[in-house]
Amino acid sequence: MAAIVKGDPTPILRSTFPTFNAETKVYSLQFEYVGTEVAIRGLEAQMKARGLSYRITHDGPIWTMLVDEPQQTIDETIDRWEVFTEASEKSLFELIGAVEEAEVYDAARADGDPTYRQAVEDAATAKSSTIGSGRPTAAAIVKHLKSNVTGWQLDFIGLRRTRRVEQSVAGSTYRLTLDTGLLVYSTAQLNLPAVVAFAVPPTPAAISDLSSWGWRKRSQRVEFVDQYVEQTVELLFAPWSTLAYGAASAGLVW
């Protein structure tokens, strides 16, 4: 090993050996530097700038620094996925039978007559029975309203993907977008890993011809953590309005 001279600003690399962190699954090389305080403090500034972990000790005039330098970055394809459910309260008048009956009823009613919804609500409060017969969904809604039941619960599927890479390799795919929030994607268009797709249920039956089941990008977030960029994208699988949202023609670019 080269001699250490007082005041010398140049650190000396004394040893290099590999390490593996079983928790993070990251392989690193650990470098041991020795030198004067001036040399090690100068090296410390470099390690801080590079975002590397280090430890400094000294015995008299001889200072030592141990530096852990990962030999692999967190791969963009190594993601954290979350699949969850959330519930939404829907009106009884959003049932597909009610939508179909309302369309026929309202198209035939005269000016000034109550709408389908008004007629059902009036029948539930015994103000009138103008809803008439031959409308089984309306009759069922009346019974529910008389029992103070005004809605039903519909469960949606949520999907959250979080990925983390070094800033130096983060490209335009990490930029927030607004246009994709207006599109609805099929499960196939998400290109999910097999293990994630396994947890996603098949598309249920339509609840109305005014909506279509699919995935819509609901929220996005980008965080800067030290030298890393962390992006979180959340989608919700629900019956989205076909008037407000269009069907995506291509796969989702995460």
Residue among 48, 90, 40, 88 nearest 65 (CA):
40
d(Cα 93, Cα 34) in Å, to the nearest integer?
77
CB atoms within 10 A of CB 33: 21
Q: Are 15 and 47 in contact (CB under 8 A)?
A: no
- pLDDT computed for residue 235 by the predictor: 95
Mean confidence (pLDDT) of the chain = 85
CA angle at 160 for the pair 85 and 183, rounded to the nearest 5°: 90
Instruction: Name residue 220's amino acid.
Output: Q
Per-residue pLDDT of 207-232, as tens digits, reads 777 889 999 999 988 888 777 888 89
Residue among 103, 54, 77, 48 nearest 193 (CA):
77
**Residue 60 DSSP class:** T
- The arithmetic mean of pLDDT across residues 43-66, rounded, is 90
Per-residue pLDDT of 129-151, as tens digits, reads 557 678 899 989 998 998 899 99
Residue among 196, 192, 181 nearest 240 (CA):
181
Instruction: Name residue 85's amino acid.
Output: T
**H-helix or E-strand containing 65?**
strand 62-70
Domains of the chain are 12-70 (3.30.200), 79-89+153-247 (no CATH), 91-152 (no CATH)
**Residue 77 confidence (pLDDT) above 50:** no
Per-residue pLDDT of 81-121, as tens digits, reads 999 999 888 899 988 888 889 989 999 888 888 899 999 99
- The arithmetic mean of pLDDT across residues 48-73, rounded, is 87
User: What share of the chain in percent tops pLDDT 90?
Assistant: 30
Q: Are 167 and 223 in contact (CB under 8 A)?
A: no
Kindly write down the DSSP assignment for every residue of 112-137, as one continuous string: TSPPHHHHHHHHHTTS--TT-SS-HH
Going through the chain in order, the beta strands assigned E by DSSP cover: 12-21, 26-35, 53-59, 62-70, 79-91, 151-166, 183-184, 211-225, 228-241, 246-247
- The arithmetic mean of pLDDT across residues 12-25, rounded, is 82
Q: Which residue has the higher pLDDT, 13 or 227?
A: 13
- pLDDT computed for residue 76 by the predictor: 45
d(Cα 226, Cα 98) in Å, to the nearest integer?
54
Q: Are 55 and 65 in contact (CB under 8 A)?
A: yes
- The arithmetic mean of pLDDT across residues 31-40, rounded, is 91
Per-residue pLDDT of 167-204, as tens digits, reads 777 766 667 777 767 899 999 999 999 989 999 989 88
